[in-house]
Chains A and B, each alone.
Chain A
């Protein structure tokens, strides 16, 4: 593990039953680095980032997040989850709570923040994602793009050092993808450490410090965006890029 890594995966292996989803995955992420992970479906990219906040348990290898090693120790898992925010493909907002309550819930219950302070924080986060006027609506009344931005605000309210994005725009109508990506670009420019699983190559080119390409549970190629798009090394990467860039 290099000195200034905030996330470090070393020889991580994971199986679903007999099927090996992650094969000796090694990844070092430095503070403020923006990583974009891509690859065909079933390549293990979602599983990998889900291992980082222990939504999935890895069976072999070592994962260290901000100096905390992820083991069965529940205390460690709690501390890592406080460091790491996550945004899901399906938004996963809490449908029975208003937008504001979705955001204030964790600050109030996990950080024991007073309610008024949490509400101010929620409004601040909603302004960052540019929908303060939706604060009192319920998730079901919002468009997909708005919901995803609320989900981002909900994660940010816990003041994480690291943000994980698991295909944040894949479930959105084409018209709404941009509004979510804009928020993510702002976030990246603000210096957030980010790992983003996405097929939005435009976003990757603007934002990524490093591209990671995965296939069949392995990291096949790791390169700067420039090299990755213009001069990839492996044939598998070339094939993948030719398919997604020419659709």
Chain B
């Protein structure tokens, strides 16, 4: 009976578990590791308190160090009292917050933007949460959401028309980012499938398209959309500036998305195609039910990576005169009342971008984890 105990699992050795064990293993395993750990701790010790002090504890929000309401740059503590130890002057963001969020959208109509944001969250829910009740009906809403959003934001159907040159700030950034990604994703799938198509005409067209778009900088495409696209359109049809930019951004993103998804498609073993064909699935059924779900799952990190890239690239529209979040920030800095507060503006803009891109990145991690559980892609 003594032999039996040999087959029972033992607990792992104490020295490798717990906080102390973890620290020893990962932070102080040898002297190089220990020195690096100490250097990093010192660096963080210097940086974090300084930044917190600058951005929060010594910073101005509505009022300056004398308690006066800040209405222009001269009231900022760090401008009024350059000798003193003062931090950021967030008043520029607070005073111009509306512009940062909506640009020059008329304030009596701004509920339409807020409603669109709310509906965007509703439209995203069935995509983000798989087990949400009534998912099937919510998905229907997600599909019509772009049209609803367009009518709400732009106007028509009884709503006052707000031309897109009044749009700005986060609104423009989100419109370009969300629509760009949402349209580019299905387009990218079609391009990827097209490039692998056995029909030479389709595959050649898709390859040419992808290679051309990828071979050109986004700025060139933006200029192309702004300046040259109208020349190709029939007379009288004048596409809105924002739409032209959106077309350029979407095509650019679609080309990258296509290559990312093609990478995923290549990882699917041939046996999956054969099994799908042998049970009688058609080309589209096979792709929709068998191939794409697996290919997209594999490509999630790259898809999110490309999407984050696009979201940040939307700031390039500043070059052709659209005022996105960064554009509004630069506009604020060019204004004599707030000149010289660039640190605050850029930190704020960076923070807003970070919130969005970091959420995307977290979501992709969550997806990867969720999809990994229970499913061994190796099949054996």
Contacts and interface: CB of A to CB of B under 8 A. Distances in A.
Contacts of A27: none
Q: Which size bracket describes the interface of A in this complex?
A: 20 to 34
Nearest to B377: A95
Interface in A136-189: 138-141, 144, 147, 151, 154-155, 158, 171
Contacts of A151: 275
Interface stretch (B171-179, B277-285, B337-345, B347-355): B277-285
A81 B279 contact: yes
A78 B269 CA distance: 22
B379 A110 contact: no
Interface string B255-298: 00000000000000101101111111110010001100110010
B380 A81 contact: no
Contacts of A106: 279-281
A95 B374 CA distance: 10
Nearest to B271: A92
A158 B279 contact: yes
Contacts of A90: 269, 271, 379
A140 B379 contact: yes
Given A91-B379, A92-B272, A138-B376, A110 B278 contact: no
A19 interface: no
Given A96-B293, A138-B374, A140-B379, A88 B271 contact: yes
B378 interface: yes
Interface residues of B, number: 25
A141 B279 contact: no
Nearest to A151: B275
A106 B279 CA distance: 6
A140 B372 CA distance: 11
B380 A144 contact: yes
A147 B380 CA distance: 8
B280 A81 contact: yes
Contacts of A118: none
A2 B297 CA distance: 50
Main secondary structure of the interface of A (DSSP, over half): mixed
B285 A95 contact: no
B375 interface: yes
Contact of A110 (B280, B375, B380): B280
A110 B281 contact: yes
Contacts of B277: 53, 55, 81
Contacts of B269: 90, 92
A22 interface: no
Contact of B376 (A84, A140, A144, A154): A140
B271 A95 contact: no
B200 to A, nearest CB: 16
A94 interface: yes
Nearest to A50: B274
A91 B378 CA distance: 12
Nearest to B373: A138
B374 A92 contact: no
Nearest to A107: B279
Contact of B278 (A84, A140, A144): A84
A208 interface: no
Contacts of A6: none
Given A95-B375, A96-B375, A88 B279 contact: no
Contacts of B272: 92, 94
Contacts of A84: 278
A147 B379 CA distance: 9
A91 to B, nearest CB: 7
Nearest to A108: B289
A155 B289 contact: no
Contacts of A109: 281, 285, 289
Contacts of A78: 280, 282
Contacts of B278: 53, 55, 81, 84-86, 155
B280 to A, nearest CB: 4
Interface of A: 53, 55, 78, 81-82, 84-86, 88, 90-96, 105-106, 109-110, 138-141, 144, 147, 151, 154-155, 158, 171
Given A88-B271, A106-B280, A109-B285, 14 more contacts: A53-B278, A81-B278, A81-B280, A85-B279, A92-B271, A92-B272, A94-B272, A95-B376, A95-B378, A95-B379, A106-B279, A106-B281, A140-B377, A158-B280
21 contacts: A53-B278, A55-B278, A78-B282, A81-B280, A85-B278, A88-B275, A91-B380, A92-B271, A92-B274, A93-B275, A93-B379, A94-B272, A95-B375, A96-B297, A105-B279, A106-B280, A138-B376, A140-B374, A140-B378, A140-B380, A147-B380
Interface of B: 269, 271-272, 274-282, 285, 289-290, 293-294, 297, 374-380
Task: Report, nearest first, the 4 A-B pairs whose CB atoms are least far apart.
Answer: A140-B376, A92-B275, A106-B279, A92-B271
